[in-house]
Amino acid sequence: GIQVEQSPPDLILQEGANSTLRCNFSDSVNNLQWFHQNPWGQLINLFYIPSGTKQNGRLSATTVATERYSLLYISSSQTTDSGVYFCAVGVNSGGYQKVTFGIGTKLQVIP
Amino acid sequence: GAVVSQHPSRVICKSGTSVKIECRSLDFQATTMFWYRQFPKQSLMLMATSNEGSKATYEQGVEKDKFLINHASLTLSTLTVTSAHPEDSSFYICSAKTSGGKTQYFGPGTRLLVL
C-alpha cells in the first residue's frame, strides 16, 4: 500500500515562531488532507488539498502532487497550535477513497 | 456542512462488558462509513468499512466478532466492542462519505478506557 511519511516527528517552537511540516507520499493520490489533533484527541480537518495552495488565517498548505509531497505552514505560532498534525492521503479504490494516515508531527508551542 | 458526530466522546467500562459507539452524519446521507482506531502516540489505522444495509468489510487483523459494526441507516453507524479488555482501550474515530462523493468527513472521536 501507499506509504505516508511526515517530518519532523517532533517539534518545539517558541510562541510567535513559524514552522513548516512536510508530508511525503509514495504514490499518486486523489486527495490529501491535513488534520490537527488537539491534546484532548479531537481531530480537526485543516485542509483538503490534493494540489495547489490554500490559506486559512495563519495556516497555509501547498501540495505538489507531481513530486508527491505536501507542506503545512504555521505562522506566528500560538500555544493553542500545540497537538499532533496528521497528513492523510486518499486513493480511489472502487466506489470510495481509501485514506492512509501518516504517523504525525507532534508540535509543542511554548510561551 | 458535512458534519459527523460521535457518541459518547469518552467511555470507561469494566473488562468483559460491551460498549457501543455511535457515528452520525448530521447534514448529509452517508452510504459508506469508516471506523479507525488510534493507539496512544500512534497514527490512525482503518478497522473496517461499512456500507448502509450490508455487512462491513474488515481490514486484515481486525476481529469481526469482537468489533461489531451496524450501518442500519444512511445517517448512523454503530461500532460495538464486545467483551472489552484493557488492550481494547483506544481512540476510535469514524468517518463518513457522501453518496457519490469520495471525500471522507471525520468525527471527533471516542476515547475508550477498559479497566
Residue of A nearest to B48 (CA): A98
Closest partner residue to B109 among A30, A43, A86, by Cβ?
A43
Confidence label for A36 from pLDDT (cuts 50, 70 and 90) = very high
C-alpha cell, A53: 495552495
Determine the pLDDT at residue B1: 65
Of A9-13, A88-92, B76-80, B81-85, the one with minimum mean pLDDT is: A88-92
B48-52 LR contacts (CB < 8 Å, sep 24+): B49/A96, B50/B77
Taking alpha carbons only, the member of B87, B88, B94, B99 closest to residue B109 is: B94
Bond from prior residue into A8 cis (ω within 30 degrees of 0):
yes
Residue B10 near residue B110, CB atoms below 8 Å:
yes
* Residue A43 clears pLDDT 90, i.e. is over it: no
Rg (CA), chain B: 13
Query: Residues in chain B with pLDDT < 50?
Result: none
Mean pLDDT value across residues A32-37 = 93
Would you call B77 an interface residue with chain A, using a CB distance cutoff of 8 Å? no
Paired sense of beta strands B10-13 and B110-114, if any: parallel
pLDDT, averaged across chain A:
93
Please tell me the predicted confidence (pLDDT) of residue B26.
93
Question: Could you tell me if B91 lies within 8 Å of chain A, comparing CB atoms?
Answer: yes
- The residue-averaged pLDDT of A98-111 equals 94
Q: Is the peptide bond before B8 cis (omega within 30 degrees of 0)?
A: yes
Q: Which residues of chain B does A100 touch, with a Cβ-Cβ cutoff of 8 Å?
A: 46
Burial track A54-85 (b if 16+ CB lie within 10 A, e otherwise): eeeeebbbbbebeebbbbbebeebeeebbbbb
Predicted local distance difference test score (pLDDT) of residue A71? 98
